[in-house]
Chain A
Amino acid sequence: MDQRPKIELEDLLKLKRHEKPESEFWNEFDTGLRRKSLEALANKPQGFFRSLWAHKWMQQVGVAAAFAICGVPAYFGVHTYYASSDVKPETDNSTVPVMVASIAEPTVDFAAIERNTRELESRKRASGRVDFVVDSYAVDPSGRRLMNNQGVAASGFERNSNRTYVHDLVKALPRESAVLPVSLSY
């Protein structure tokens, strides 16, 4: 007759309680836990802001804050510029086109525009109709504007003996109406 005790599944599973790590394991465990805790602490701000961003209301606040920081100064900056200078967007469409130039991106120096505007307007007041003469020039694709290499544009000009007489000064060229820069002589 078999004298050995009956083997139950439960007893067999309890044998797993004897699987234990050696004592040195816990030093490694504590060291690793300390290191990971510090890493988690170092990464906390990022996780914190990311979790904040997960809230929809926080995204709305973020967008509003971004507009307040960037949008409002930009808006008032543009209006202050136009309010404090003679430079205005182009509105005069009365001139006959001379030629169409290829499109290139102009670099507009607004400080120079202001300087030239003041100077040329004083010349205009002194000499009547003609503001300056250009030997070479370019016009925008619409053919209605002429521009010098500092971004100064004229909407009124006429050609005579290979010279162009420019009047009806002076407009700042909007960036989107691209024209080639030209050399300009007074």
Chain B
Amino acid sequence: MLIVERVQAGDVAAFDILVHRYRERLYSVVYNLTSNREDAMDLAQEAFIKAFQSINSFKGKSSFYTWLYRIAINNTLSHLKRHRNRHFFSFDNIENEMSQSDVFDAVASKVKTEKGALLKELQERLNEALMKLSLKHRSVVVLFEIEGLSHEEISAILKCSVGTVRSRLHYAKQQLKVYLKDLVD
């Protein structure tokens, strides 16, 4: 029996397995949409609760994580619309591996900034640039470029066509290139 089916059959403990399996991915997508770690934690938790409450409406037409992502993203977009004028950044830590990446080295040599200072600055610049995008464009960029989902998966989550996903992605990247033009070649 699949874990989801166990939850649907009333095995509450089985839902913990799903939480532990998807919590990091779910939190990540919400964090990248909000750029606020406290909001992201609340919204990801709410998404899990909503998923649990409506688990019987999951019919298996899509994968469970697509369904879960849809709940989390809709919940997050509703939150962001409600608090349209509120922008508080609250960042997660940056892993050390970032400062060892080739891209980071390239940025450091381009902007001629000391690596330690650049780390924080780069984080702020990337988050600010994402927050300047509209919600629908930000969602597509986050899901495709950061979370690594396919166009088809994104179209299933956002309930729009693959063509719409592609065009939103193209437009969003054009915008981001403008916002980050001093960093991008």
Q: Is B161 an interface residue (CB 8 A)?
A: no
Q: Is B180 an interface residue (CB 8 A)?
A: yes
Instruction: Please report the C-alpha to C-alpha distance between residue A72 and residue B175 in the assembled complex, in whole angstroms.
Output: 69
User: Using an 8 Å CB-CB cutoff, how does the interface string of B157-185 with A read, 1 for contact, 0 for none?
Assistant: 00000000000000001001100100111
Neighbour of B98 across the interface among A18, A25, A26, A28, CB < 8 A: A18
Q: Is B41 an interface residue (CB 8 A)?
A: yes
List the one stretch of A33-41, A85-93, A138-146 in contact with chain B: A33-41
Q: Is A1 an interface residue (CB 8 A)?
A: no
Q: Is B31 an interface residue (CB 8 A)?
A: yes
Q: Which residues of A contact B127 (CB under 8 A)?
A: 16
Whether A9 contacts B173 in the complex (CB less than 8 A), given A4-B106, A18-B98, comes out as yes
User: Using an 8 Å CB-CB cutoff, how does the interface string of B78-107 with A read, 1 for contact, 0 for none?
Assistant: 000000000000011111011001111111
Asked whether, in the complex, the Cβ of A14 is within 8 Å of the Cβ of B146, the reply is yes
Closest to B42 in A: A32
Neighbour of B183 across the interface among A12, A14, A30, CB < 8 A: A12
Asked whether, in the complex, the Cβ of B126 is within 8 Å of the Cβ of A16, the reply is yes
Q: Is A176 an interface residue (CB 8 A)?
A: no
Q: Which residues of A contact B102 (CB under 8 A)?
A: 5
Within 8 A of A (CB), among B123-142: 123, 126-127, 141
Q: Is B115 an interface residue (CB 8 A)?
A: no
Asked whether, in the complex, the Cβ of A11 is within 8 Å of the Cβ of B103, the reply is yes
Q: Is B8 an interface residue (CB 8 A)?
A: no
Q: Which residues of A contact B105 (CB under 8 A)?
A: 4
Q: Which residues of B contact A13 (CB under 8 A)?
A: 126, 141, 145-146, 176
Neighbour of A32 across the interface among B41, B91, B95, B104, CB < 8 A: B41
Asked whether, in the complex, the Cβ of A7 is within 8 Å of the Cβ of B93, the reply is no
Neighbour of A19 across the interface among B44, B52, B93, CB < 8 A: B93
Q: Is B49 an interface residue (CB 8 A)?
A: yes
Q: Is B46 an interface residue (CB 8 A)?
A: yes
Asked whether, in the complex, the Cβ of B145 is within 8 Å of the Cβ of A7, the reply is no
Asked whether, in the complex, the Cβ of B146 is within 8 Å of the Cβ of A17, the reply is yes
B residues contacting A by CB (< 8 A) are 19, 23-24, 27-28, 31-32, 37, 41-42, 44-46, 48-49, 52-53, 91-95, 97-98, 101-107, 109-110, 122-123, 126-127, 141, 145-146, 173, 176-177, 180, 183-185
